[in-house]
């Protein structure tokens, strides 16, 4: 029997539905780029008029930080203009828009985790393009959620190309080198979707930080992965200058990306990483 919650979630449309986070969305309508090009306003309007969702989860984004730094125009097209288009479409059909943003909207100079009311001051093209997406959403809509995340992981071997996946893949080697002094709050895509579900059912609005709890360093995360997998790989910290192809995710002025939330919806990062590895990377876990 269909519950009231099922009825509400069935009226959700998700952009970027085939991505890392989208793979955990198991409700409503999921569209990939072929079905909805967010950079095309006419396409966004046409698709939203056709499906008439009550809520839009806007996941479609360019999250490859390196590409954003190399091609800022593309970053702004996808992350800023694309979000503006989806906000306009949401406004026309009277839908709530959930925009997934990033800790990169902050400058990284704060010692403690960032809270929702802290001033934004992005230092990279990626961060600026996502921040301007926030500005666009807030300027067009009253009924919105801006969900900031950090150090996303999820999607398993097929979809995860981020830090956690790269470390897991290196656990079969002899040594892993980690840039020192970088702090953040890992966010499990599965937990993010679970939190968004709850916020949708609560008809919440506003800005929320939805990373997993905690403020580990990249070194802490790598050590935890080694522990979970049972690997004997040696993990060492190195100065950022060790790597020559550094982009904004490892810039000296972006040392702290950690987030603190005003709501208690998501578990600690260690538990999330453990579940992720055991469930989605089982061949990397040593059996005893």
Closest CA to 79 of 118, 122, 115, 34: 122
By CB atoms closer than 10 A (0-12, 13-18, 19+), residue 136 is: buried
Contact between residue 209 and residue 261 where contact means Cβ atoms under 8 Å apart: yes
Q: Give domain limits for the chain.
A: 4-155+184-216+256-267
251 falls in which pLDDT band (50, 70, 90)? very low
Q: How many CA atoms within 13 Å lie on the side-chain side of 83?
A: 30
Q: Dihedral (C-alpha) 245, 249, 252, 254: value to the nearest 10 degrees?
A: 170
281 falls in which pLDDT band (50, 70, 90)? very high
2 falls in which pLDDT band (50, 70, 90)? confident
Strand 206-209 to strand 12-15: parallel, antiparallel, or no bridges (unpaired)?
unpaired
What whole-number distance in Å separates Cα of residue 190 and Cα of residue 164? 14
User: DSSP letters of 245-286?
Assistant: S--GGG-GGG-B--B--SS--S-BHHHHHHHHHHHH-GGGSP
Give yes or no for residue 1 having a pLDDT over 80. Answer: no
Domain 4-155+184-216+256-267 belongs in CATH node 3.40.50.720: yes
Task: Give the CA distances from residue 248 to residues 31, 127, 273, in Å, rounded to whole numbers and listed in that order.
Answer: 29, 9, 24
Distance from the Cα of residue 71 to its chain's centroid? 20
CB atoms within 10 A of CB 244: 5
Contact between residue 46 and residue 29 where contact means Cβ atoms under 8 Å apart: no
Q: pLDDT tens for residues 78-116?
A: 999 999 999 999 999 999 999 999 999 999 999 999 999
Q: pLDDT tens for residues 16-32?
A: 999 999 999 999 999 99
254 falls in which pLDDT band (50, 70, 90)? confident
Strands (E), the chain: 12-15, 29-30, 55-58, 96-102, 144-149, 152-153, 175-179, 187-188, 206-209, 234-238
* Segment 160-179 mean pLDDT: 94
* Segment 179-183 mean pLDDT: 93
184-193: burial string, b at 16+ Cβ within 10 Å, e else: bbbbbbbbbb
252 falls in which pLDDT band (50, 70, 90)? very low
What whole-number distance in Å separates Cα of residue 99 and Cα of residue 97? 6
For the ranges 79-88, 98-107, 191-200, 251-260, which has the lowest average pLDDT?
251-260
Task: Give the CA distances from residue 150 to residues 86, 104, 212, in Å, rounded to whole numbers and listed in that order.
Answer: 22, 8, 9
What whole-number distance in Å separates Cα of residue 196 and Cα of residue 146? 10
């Amino acid at each position: 029997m269909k519950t009231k919650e099922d009825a509400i979630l069935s009226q959700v449309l998700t952009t970027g539905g085939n991505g890392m986070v989208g793979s955990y969305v198991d409700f409503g309508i999921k569209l990939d780029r072929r079905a909805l090009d967010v950079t095309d306003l006419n396409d966004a309007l046409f698709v939203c008029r056709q499906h008439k969702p009550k809520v839009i989860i806007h996941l479609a984004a360019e999250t490859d930080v390196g590409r954003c730094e190399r091609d800022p125009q593309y970053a702004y097209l996808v992350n800023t203009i694309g979000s503006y288009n989806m906000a306009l479409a949401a406004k026309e059909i009277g839908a709530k828009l959930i925009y997934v943003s990033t800790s990169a909207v902050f400058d990284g100079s704060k010692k403690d985790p960032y809270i929702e009311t802290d001033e934004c001051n992005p230092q990279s093209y990626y961060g600026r393009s996502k921040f301007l997406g926030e500005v666009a959403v807030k300027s067009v809509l009253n009924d919105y959620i801006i969900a900031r995340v950090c150090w996303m992981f999820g999607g398993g071997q097929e979809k995860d190309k981020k830090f956690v996946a790269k470390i897991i893949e290196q656990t079969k080697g002899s040594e892993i080198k980690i840039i020192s002094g970088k702090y953040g709050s890992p966010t499990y895509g599965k937990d993010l979707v679970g939190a968004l579900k709850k916020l949708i059912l609560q008809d919440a609005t506003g800005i929320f930080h939805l990373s997993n709890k905690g403020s580990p360093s990249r070194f802490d995360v790598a050590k935890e992965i080694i522990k979970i997998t049972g690997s004997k790989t040696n993990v060492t910290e190195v100065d950022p200058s060790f790597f020559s192809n550094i982009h904004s995710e490892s810039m000296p002025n972006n040392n702290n990306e950690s987030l603190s939330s005003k709501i208690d919806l998501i578990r600690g990062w260690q538990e999330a990483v453990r579940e992720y590895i055991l469930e989605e990377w089982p061949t990397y876990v040593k059996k005893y």
